[in-house]
Amino acid sequence: MRFIDEVVITIISGNGGNGHSSFRREKYYPLGGPDGGDGGDGGCIYFQADNGLNTLATFRSKRVFKAEHGEDGRNSQMHGKYAEDLILKVPVGTIVRSTDVETGSGQVLADLTEHGQRILMAEGGRGGMGNIHFKSSVQQAPKTCTPGKEGQTIELDLELKLIADIALIGLPNAGKSTMISSISAARPKIADYPFTTLEPNLGVVDMGDECSFVVADIPGLIEDASEGKGLGVKFLKHIERTKAFVHLIDVSWCLNEFEAFEQYVTIREELRKFNEELLNKKELVCLTKIDAMTDEEIDKYVNFFEEQIDRKVLPVSSVSGRNISLLKSLMLKTFEDYKE
């Protein structure tokens, strides 16, 4: 299924049924009287978050969603049937915004961040009243009844920001897809050219004892991504909800440690320009694709990075599995520290 994270849709709640005007005409009830029933309420439209979904693709082919109308009232004081509500399921992490200029285009109407969370978005029209409601001491045979209220028509902008515990970030070909495939059951496309990953991938890292966390493989960022270059900000927004980053730096092609560190600085700068608060998130820094390097070369790179950023740096290899178990343990600790 194609990954879709932005759509514009129109929702239309149901109209209320009309009230009925009628009179009782039976053999043993000579006085009769009004007996028109009320119309049923129109269907409401709700959004409900479902963690079984990870894309808005279901809204790509169909853009207009209508709830059913309530039935009209009947004689013998029979109420019209209430229409069923329409529940639209969306991925956890979906933000619903208004597109109405008068009420404020871009205004956030709902932010669905938990599985099962349900929000009423368009209320159905109330059913009209039958003529039985208009009987009085001075009006014994009213013919008045009221029509049902119309439902609401609302145009909405849906935006998905994936909710993952930890995001893998780095330049194109830094080894993010290989990494997520080695620590989880996710199987993204892997190739030796830039921008292999064109959409975020989610993977669940199982640590045993009913303990797990979700990792997102964010498509490669490049310099000036925050200004629209490359894949632009299309996927930068998906890291805003994550609790921490694993920053992967490919050192296999670098002539020296300075070239490797430039990669780190480039990504950090793009995060700052997109949202400065991202720099405050916890970060694990990993040097990837170290298989062809000697231990002395690896130590040289690691020591240089640790001097520059004043924190531990982990050399890893997703191919050989070197330090992958340690990385998973550090990721789990970061995740648990955040929950505390």
Residues 332 and 185 in one domain: yes
State the binding site for Mg(2+). 177, 197
Q: Say yes or no: 127 and 178 in one domain.
A: no
| Pair 156, 112 in one domain | yes
Last residue of a domain, one of 145, 160, 175: 160
- Same domain membership, residue 139 and residue 253: no
Judge if 245 and 309 occupy the same domain: yes
Between CA 54 and CA 58, with CA 56 as vertex, the angle to 5 degrees is 110
Residue showing tokens 């993977």: 203
Which residues line the annotated binding site? 170-177, 195-199, 217-220, 288-291, 317-319
- Same structural domain for residues 303 and 173? yes
Binding site residues for GTP, as ranges? 170-177, 195-199, 217-220, 288-291, 317-319
What's the total number of domains in the chain?
A: 2
CATH code for the domain in which residue 264 is found: 3.40.50.300
Beta-carbon contacts of residue 168 (< 8 Å; ≥ 6 apart) = 176, 179, 180, 215, 216, 217, 218, 245, 246, 248
CATH code of 147's domain:
2.70.210.12
Entry pTM? 0.77
- Same domain for 87 and 180, yes or no, is no
Give the start-end residues of each E strand in the chain.
Answer: 6-12, 45-50, 64-66, 86-91, 94-98, 108-112, 118-122, 153-160, 166-169, 201-206, 212-217, 244-250, 282-288, 313-315
Whether residue 144 is found in the same domain as residue 190: no
Range of the domain at 283: 166-339
For residue 225, what pLDDT is reported?
A: 47
Kindly give the confidence (pLDDT) of every residue in the chain, 340 residues in length, as a single tens digit, with 9 standing for 90 and above: 456 788 999 999 999 999 999 998 777 777 778 999 999 999 999 999 998 888 888 898 899 999 999 999 998 889 999 999 999 999 999 999 998 766 666 889 999 999 999 999 999 999 999 999 998 888 888 999 999 999 999 999 999 988 888 999 988 888 888 899 888 877 755 444 444 445 677 888 988 877 888 898 887 565 554 455 545 556 677 788 888 999 999 999 898 999 999 999 998 998 898 889 999 999 999 999 999 899 999 999 999 999 999 999 999 999 899 999 999 999 988 887 765 5
Looking at the structure, do residues 137 and 198 belong to the same domain, yes or no? no
Residue 290 has a pLDDT of 93
Q: Buried (b) or exposed (e) across 85-113, using 16+ Cβ within 10 A? A: bbebebbbbbbbbbbeeeeeeeeebbbbe
